[in-house]
Amino acid sequence: MDPNYQNKSVIAKGISGDAASGRVFSTEMKDVSPLLARVDKLNQLGIALSAERDTKKLLENILLGAKDLTNADAGTMYTRTDQNTLKFEIIRTDSLKIAMGGTTGVEIKFPPLPLYKDNGEPNLQMIAAAAALQEITINIPDAYEAEGFDFSGTKKFDQMTGYRSQSFLTVPLKNHENEIIGVLQLINAKDFETGAIRAFTASDQELAQSLASQAAISMTNQRLIEDLKKLFESFIRAIANAIDDKSPYTGGHCERVPVLSEMLARAAKRSMVGELKDYNPTEEEIYELRIAAWMHDCGKVVTPEYVVDKSTKLQTIYDRIHSVNARFDVLKRDAEVAFLRQKIAAMEQGDPSRIPELEEEYKKSILKIQDDQKFVQASNIGGEFMTQERKNRIKEIGARQWVNSDGETVNFLTDDEIKNLCISKGTLTDEEREVINHHVVATKNMLRTLPFPKHLRRVPEMAGAHHETMNGKGYPDGLTREQMSIGARIMAIADVFEALTASDRPYKPSKSLSESLKILGFMKKDQHIDPDLFKVFIDEQVYLEYAQSYLDPKQIDDIQPKKIPGYEP
């Protein structure tokens, strides 16, 4: 703050020389006790402003505090925008019962005040703009007698309302970089004893300027905090989006899980189910959960794409089903060649009666090859469960002999192809699933290295436990329900439900609401997910709130809660 800032002021005609000099402890105050009380109030305001974290409340407290200190009837708080305008933030007029902006919920529809005219000249006719541009406090005893300012709008307002705008005290707010960040304007100071409208005194002005100085510091700190918060959130979203972009099959997962987590957290906050009756997260704690949800899959940056994107069992760099199909084509060709040779031999031997039998055998052989090919193609698609009978058939097909391009007689399927085609569920082998599961360990390791502030200290725990289960059979640490925070348990449900209903997974089509809730119900019965949160998820219809915004309407079918496994109304 400029040390001479508080002494820079313009006093319009009507203020005495003593007042203009800015000497607070002058003969205008015969009793210093009221002034000391106001100074004490100023100190208390400064402490309160430094502790406020909500921007709207901060701006509102600045204006209300200034009105209280100077006993002003009305006032306006402006902030400077990047477009060189002054935006109306808070408006108060006690005698007209006008309260707009801030925490009132009443929108201020007035256009911002331009600091410069269309031709580029400074807008010095508007008192608030002039105070900002000239970086001076402007004290006007009576607007109707003031010269050099345009009060036509003020006079029009007075005509419409019957108000009489008289004294104005307009104070610019300057930050640590010597930049004007706002303007505080007070209107119609009232006599502390009689309530009569009076001019703003020198003591009023110095108190307002002192408050403006403290307010500017608080506003700057608040803005720096908000800017850092925006940078932090943007960085987190950039990482999450990079993870989603890494695979076309998980796009949007990192964005949808935070939304669903917050929906469930707010529903749990309203609930009285089980231990959730004591769950009452603050907005700061819900923000912490949201950040954890954004970061829950950050460890996937180390997961190879060929595993994340494995849409079929035989997929590596490419889907090896194409190579297998080529082998089946070779089998068909070989069968045809063998048939034709046998047919020619029968004709040369003068035994054409064998030809119909040969043709029948050839057709059966081709049908068998085609049937096996369709079976292998179907087995290549990841499903919910593959029976042992189907696995045995894959092994039988794999053991068939054929002659490859090098003239070698080998098994029709390699050991690795048989292993992949016999995957019981999904498209991943045990080794590949370990690679996928390692992303949680990587997530925990990454987040533990970050110096999270106190209000985000639980982010690593919540993000790193979203694959744990209530019965201790999850991963990576095998935690039980009692060892997990409610936030981690919320994320576990959000992660599962998003995956079940997602339309971008490589190994399965998206499921309907009823199918997804059925699976979720079985997971509750198997002690995989939290029973209290599962009940809230159904009771509060969190699933429907999410579905209406993020699912295809075709997925939203009829839900009968009583038929959901594990649900107890």
- Selected residue with higher pLDDT from 467 and 2: 467
Amino acid 271: pLDDT: 94
The two tokens of residue 302 are 């180390």
The Cα 76–Cα 54 span in angstroms is 18
Residue 438's φ and ψ, nearest 5 degrees, are: -65, -15
> Do the beta carbons of residue 291 and residue 456 sit within 8 Å?
yes
- Selected residue with higher pLDDT from 222 and 6: 222
Question: Which of 276, 155, 330 minimizes the C-alpha distance to 536?
Answer: 276
SS3 percent helix, strand, coil of the chain, rounded to 5, is: 55, 10, 35
The two tokens of residue 218 are 């608080």
Task: Look at residue 345 and tell me whether its pLDDT is greater than 50.
Answer: yes
The CA-atom distances, in angstroms, between 510 and each of 34, 263, 292, 424, 522 are 72, 21, 25, 19, 18
- 331 Cβ neighbours under 8 A, 6+ residues apart: 369, 402, 412
Is 97 exposed, middle or buried, given 0-12, 13-18 or 19+ CB atoms closer than 10 A? Answer: exposed
Question: C-alpha 347: how far from its chain's center?
Answer: 78
- Selected residue with higher pLDDT from 491 and 219: 491
Task: Look at residue 18 and tell me whether its pLDDT is greater than 70.
Answer: no
DSSP state of 27: T
CA dihedral 357→359→361→363, nearest 10 degrees, is -150
Amino acid 247: pLDDT: 65
- Rounded to the nearest 5 degrees, what angle is found at the Cα of 49, between the Cα atoms of 43 and 50? 95
DSSP state of 378: H
Q: What does the pLDDT look like over 274-319, one tens digit per residue?
A: 999 999 999 999 999 999 999 998 888 877 877 877 878 988 878 8
Amino acid 21: pLDDT: 41
Amino acid 559: pLDDT: 93
DSSP-derived pairing of the beta strands 85-93 and 98-101:
antiparallel
Whole-number mean pLDDT of the chain?
87
Amino acid 36: pLDDT: 65
Q: What does the pLDDT look like over 323-336, one tens digit per residue?
A: 999 999 999 999 99
The Cα 3–Cα 7 span in angstroms is 9
pLDDT average, residue stretch 148-154: 91
- 164 Cβ neighbours under 8 A, 6+ residues apart: 158, 188, 197
The Cα 35–Cα 32 span in angstroms is 5
Q: Which of 33-37, 255-259, 464-468 has the least mean pLDDT?
A: 33-37
CA dihedral 227→231→232→238, nearest 10 degrees, is 160
- Rounded to the nearest 5 degrees, what angle is found at the Cα of 498, between the Cα atoms of 252 and 546? 90
- 557 Cβ neighbours under 8 A, 6+ residues apart: 512, 513, 514
Residue 170: beta bridge partners? 138, 185
Q: What does the pLDDT look like over 427-484, one tens digit per residue?
A: 888 888 888 888 888 889 889 998 988 989 999 999 999 999 999 999 899 999 999 9
